[in-house]
C-alpha cells in the first residue's frame, strides 16, 4: 500500500471488500495489523497541534475526559480581558497539566476540520453506502477515559501512534438499540494491544474497555451508522399516513370483534405499503437525504465554466452516494434524486467522479463535459479545488 493514500480496501486488508461485507460486517469482531506507518499521514502530533490552535471547536465536540467524567472547561481555559470585553482562551499550560494527570483528549467529528481524515469518512461512506463519521482519541497516561461500554453503531478503530489496550466482549443483546440498558461484563473474551498500523472492527453492541499504556497514543474511531429494520418501519408508517385511516384517531373499541376489525384494517394499509418497492424507495430516500460535502466553488459565482479555471484545478464530486446510469445513448449522473445527462464520451470522467477521484479541469473542457461540469458546480454537487 502507498503511504499517503487511504482506501477502504487498505483499511480492511488482507480481506477483500466483498469478503468483509459477507463474512465480517455486522457479525463479529475483526482485527488486523499492518505497516506501522500506513496510517501516519492521516494525523500526527504536529498536525493535531495546528488543528487545536486554529480549528478547535467548542465543547462538547472537543473535550477532556477521565474515568468517565468530563473535565470542566475551566480547568484548561483562561479568561483574557480585552478592550472589547472578556475572551475565553485555551490555557496550554493547564491543558498539559490535565493531560499529564491522565486525561484523554476527545475530538468528535474531526473529519469536519481535517482533510486527510475527511477523505477517510468519504471512502468508508462510498464503500459501505452508509453514513460515517470519525472521532479522535489521544491519551498519554494510564487512566482510561471511559468505562466499559458499547456503541449503537459499527466502529473501525485505526491506531495511528503509540499503543492502547483493548478488552472486547460480544454483545449482551443482539442488535441493541440506543436506549437499551444492560450491565457491563465482569470478564472480557478478548484481550488485545493495538499498535501503530492496527485496525479493529466492532459491530454495533460489542462491549469494549480501553486502557492507555502510559505512553503517547493516538487513534481514530470511524463510526458507521446503518439503517435498521426499525428505521425502515418508522419511515414506512410516515409514508402510510397518506391514507386517511392512518391519520384518524384510534376509536374507543369496547369489544374484541371491533378491535380485531380495526387491527385488520390497519394491517391492510401496511400490507399495501410494505413490499420490495417500499424497500427500494427507502434506500433511495437515504441516498437523497445523505448530505453533500459543503465545499463551495466561489469561482462559479459569475457562471464561469471550466475554460476559465486555473490550469492545475481539479474537480471532485461532493456526494458519496452518487450513481451513474445509462440513459438515451449517454450516461446520467444521479445524486439525491436528480439527474445530469452527458454523452457517452463523458463516461470515463463520470466514472472517476463517482469513484471519488479528482478529475483535472483540463479533461473537462471538452464539448461533451464542459456544460455538464458547469451545471454540477452550480448545483453544489461538484467543486473545483
Half-sphere exposure of 207 (CA within 13 A, CB side): 20
| Domain boundaries of the chain, sorted by first residue | 8-225, 229-288, 298-384
Q: What is the DSSP string of 54-65?
A: HHPPPTTTEEEE
Adjacency order of strands within the sheet including 330-335: 323-327, 330-335, 338-343
Those residues with Cβ within 8 angstroms of residue 357's Cβ, 6 or more apart along the chain or in another chain: none
pLDDT value, residue 2: 39
Does domain 8-225 match CATH 3.40.50.300? no
Half-sphere exposure of 147 (CA within 13 A, CB side): 6
| Cβ 91 vs Cβ 76: under 8 Å | yes
Long-range contacts of residues 305-312, Cβ cutoff 8 Å, at least 24 apart: 305/370, 305/371, 305/373, 305/374, 306/361, 306/364, 306/365, 306/369, 306/370, 306/373, 306/374, 306/384, 307/365, 307/370, 309/361, 309/384, 310/361, 311/361, 311/362
pLDDT value, residue 3: 44
> Which of these, 278, 276, 287, lies nearest to 321 by C-alpha position?
287
pTM of the full structure: 0.90
Q: What is the DSSP string of 55-122?
A: HPPPTTTEEEEETTEEPPGGGSEEEEEETTEEEEEE-HHHHHHHHHTTPEEEETTGGGT-HHHHHHHH
For the chain, 385 residues long, give each residue's pLDDT as a single digit of tens. 334 578 999 999 999 999 999 999 999 999 999 999 999 999 999 999 999 999 988 899 999 999 999 999 999 999 999 998 999 999 999 999 999 999 999 999 999 999 999 999 999 999 998 999 999 999 999 988 899 999 999 999 999 999 999 999 999 998 898 888 888 899 999 999 999 999 999 999 999 999 999 999 999 999 999 999 999 999 999 999 999 999 999 988 889 999 999 999 999 998 988 989 999 889 888 876 667 888 999 888 877 778 888 888 999 999 998 989 988 889 999 887 789 998 998 899 999 999 999 999 888 888 888 888 988 998 889 999 9
CA 309 to chain centre: 31
**Residue 46 CB neighbour total at 10 angstroms:** 8
354, three cell numbers: 463517482
pLDDT value, residue 253: 84
pLDDT value, residue 1: 36
**What CATH topology corresponds to 298-384?**
Malonyl-Coenzyme A Acyl Carrier Protein; domain 2 (3.40.366)
For residue 193, the cross-strand partners are 165
Amino acid at each position: 500500500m502507498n503511504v499517503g493514500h487511504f482506501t477502504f480496501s487498505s483499511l480492511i486488508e488482507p480481506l477483500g471488500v466483498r469478503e468483509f461485507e459477507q463474512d465480517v460486517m455486522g457479525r463479529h469482531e475483526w482485527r488486523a495489523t499492518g505497516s506501522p506507518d500506513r496510517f501516519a499521514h492521516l494525523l500526527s502530533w504536529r498536525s493535531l497541534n495546528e488543528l487545536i490552535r486554529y480549528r478547535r471547536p467548542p465543547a462538547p465536540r472537543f473535550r477532556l475526559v477521565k474515568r468517565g467524567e468530563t473535565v470542566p472547561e475551566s480547568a484548561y481555559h483562561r479568561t483574557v480581558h480585552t478592550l472589547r470585553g472578556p475572551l475565553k482562551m485555551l490555557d496550554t499550560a493547564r491543558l498539559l497539566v490535565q493531560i499529564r494527570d491522565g486525561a484523554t483528549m476527545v475530538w468528535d467529528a474531526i473529519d469536519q476540520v481535517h482533510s486527510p481524515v475527511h477523505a477517510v469518512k468519504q471512502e468508508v461512506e462510498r464503500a459501505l453506502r452508509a453514513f460515517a463519521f470519525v472521532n479522535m482519541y489521544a491519551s498519554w497516561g494510564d487512566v482510561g477515559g471511559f468505562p466499559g461500554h458499547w456503541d449503537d453503531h459499527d466502529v473501525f478503530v485505526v491506531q495511528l501512534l503509540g499503543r492502547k489496550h483493548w478488552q472486547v466482549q460480544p454483545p449482551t443483546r443482539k442488535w441493541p438499540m440506543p436506549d437499551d440498558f444492560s450491565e457491563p461484563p465482569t470478564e472480557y473474551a478478548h484481550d488485545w494491544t493495538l499498535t501503530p498500523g492496527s485496525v479493529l472492527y466492532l459491530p454495533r453492541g460489542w462491549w469494549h474497555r480501553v486502557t492507555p499504556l502510559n505512553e503517547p497514543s493516538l487513534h481514530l474511531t470511524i463510526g458507521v451508522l446503518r439503517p435498521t429494520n426499525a428505521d425502515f418501519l418508522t419511515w414506512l408508517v410516515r409514508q402510510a399516513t397518506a391514507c386517511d385511516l392512518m391519520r384518524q384517531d384510534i376509536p374507543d373499541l369496547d369489544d374484541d370483534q371491533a378491535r380485531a376489525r380495526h387491527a385488520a384494517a390497519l394491517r391492510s394499509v401496511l400490507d399495501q405499503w410494505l413490499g420490495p418497492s417500499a424497500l427500494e424507495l427507502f434506500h433511495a430516500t437515504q441516498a437523497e437525504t445523505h448530505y453533500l460535502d459543503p465545499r463551495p466553488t466561489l469561482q462559479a459565482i459569475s457562471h464561469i465554466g471550466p475554460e476559465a479555471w486555473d490550469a492545475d484545478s481539479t474537480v471532485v464530486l461532493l456526494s458519496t452516494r452518487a450513481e451513474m446510469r445509462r440513459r438515451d445513448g449517454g450516461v446520467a449522473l444521479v445524486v439525491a434524486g436528480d439527474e445530469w445527462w452527458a454523452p457517452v464520451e463523458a463516461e470515463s470522467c463520470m466514472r472517476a467522479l463517482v469513484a471519488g477521484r479528482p478529475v483535472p479541469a483540463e479533461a473537462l473542457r471538452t464539448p461533451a463535459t464542459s456544460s455538464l461540469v458547469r451545471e454540477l458546480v452550480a448545483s453544489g454537487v461538484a467543486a473545483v479545488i
